Amino acid sequence: MSWKDVNDAINQTIGGMMNLFFPRKCPFCGAITGKQLLCDSCRRDLPWCDEERTVGSLRVTAPLYYEDGVRKAVHDLKFRSMTGGLDCFGQLMAQCAAERYSGEFDAVTWVPVSHKRLKKRGFDQSRLLAASLCVDWHVMPLETLEKTVDNPPQSGIDDGDERRANVLGVYRVVNADAFAGKRLLLIDDVCTTGATLSECARVLKSAGAADVVALTLSMVRDGR
Ligand SMILES: [Zn+2]
């Protein structure tokens, strides 16, 4: 037995033990999935989305609609700090980006939460989503924006004009030199009306981004 075999055997054993103690669960329904990221029934029945939407001049797409198990999974991530689904979400988003935006972006970035929210929550869910979708591409997401105002959450505002007004001017560019002339893939968890994504894209373009396309884990059906 070579060292490599020993190593592989150890890794397999550890992997097996991890699976035994922390069995992988489907992030959408909680079913035990073995080695798969997603259970078979969710693979079949989730509200898959093949829509591409335009908000102003910004293109937005998502692998899923924000409904049922998807809504619960996003809530679990954001409000219950359940990060176990991140590799699944990242893979679904990476696949979606490869299918719909192939060759159209040079770098990946995300819509940040405010410093206050970050302190309270302890993590930035969109940054984690961006990092997860970048894993297989062997790149790191680029930090391009900070949220300087802790505005009321968009989820509490129904009116489209009010949603746009609520996010106007709340994002500021960081690292402008790092993305000047680059085409950016902008990541967020949910797209409702696209007001937030649209404002971020506006700020990024005015700071020198060559183009911005947006990808979210999920989007609200008919959310305009
Ligand atoms: Zn499932």
Ligand 1 centroid to Cα of residue 67, in Å, is: 14
- Sorted by sequence, the CB contacts under 8 Å of residue 190 that are 6+ apart come out as 66, 74, 216, 217, 218, 219, 220
pLDDT of residue 61: 98
pLDDT of residue 16: 61
Q: What is the pLDDT of residues 21-42, one digit of tens each?
A: 677 899 999 999 988 999 999 9
pLDDT of residue 11: 66
Domains and CATH numbers, the chain: 1-45 (no CATH), 46-219 (3.40.50.2020)
Strand partners, 61: 52, 215
Q: Among 93, 90, 184, 97, which Cα is nearest to 132's?
A: 90
Element (H, E) at 52: strand 52-55
Ligand 1 centroid to Cα of residue 50, in Å, is: 20
Ligand 1 centroid to Cα of residue 46, in Å, is: 8
Ligand 1 centroid to Cα of residue 62, in Å, is: 18
Half-sphere exposure of 142 (CA within 13 A, CB side): 20
pLDDT of residue 206: 97
pLDDT of residue 17: 61
Q: H helices of the chain, where?
A: 3-21, 40-45, 68-80, 86-100, 115-121, 125-134, 160-167, 176-179, 195-206
SS (H, E, C) 134-197: HHHHCCCCCCCEEECCCCCCHHHCCCHHHHHHHHCCCEEECCHHHHCCCEEEEEEEEECCCHHH
- Sorted by sequence, the CB contacts under 8 Å of residue 25 that are 6+ apart come out as 31, 32, 33, 84
Give the number of other CB atoms < 10 A from CB of residue 220: 17
pLDDT of residue 19: 59
pLDDT of residue 186: 98
pLDDT of residue 136: 84
pLDDT of residue 5: 75
Q: What is the pLDDT of residues 170-180, one digit of tens each?
A: 999 999 999 99
pLDDT of residue 142: 97
Phi/psi at 153 (nearest 5 deg)? -60, 140
Ligand 1 centroid to Cα of residue 87, in Å, is: 14
Would you give per-residue pLDDT tens digits along the chain (224 residues)?
Answer: 677 777 677 666 666 665 566 778 999 999 999 889 999 999 999 999 999 999 999 999 999 999 999 999 999 999 998 899 999 999 999 999 999 999 999 999 999 999 898 998 888 999 999 999 999 888 999 999 999 988 888 888 888 888 888 888 899 999 999 999 999 999 999 999 999 999 999 999 999 999 999 999 999 998 65
Ligand 1 centroid to Cα of residue 20, in Å, is: 19
User: Residues 30, 34, 39, 43: what is their CA dihedral angle, to the nearest 10 degrees?
Assistant: 150
Q: Compute the distance between CA of residue 118 and CA of residue 105 in angstroms, rounded to an integer.
A: 27
Ligand 1 centroid to Cα of residue 19, in Å, is: 17
Please give the model's pTM, rounded to 2 decimal places: 0.88
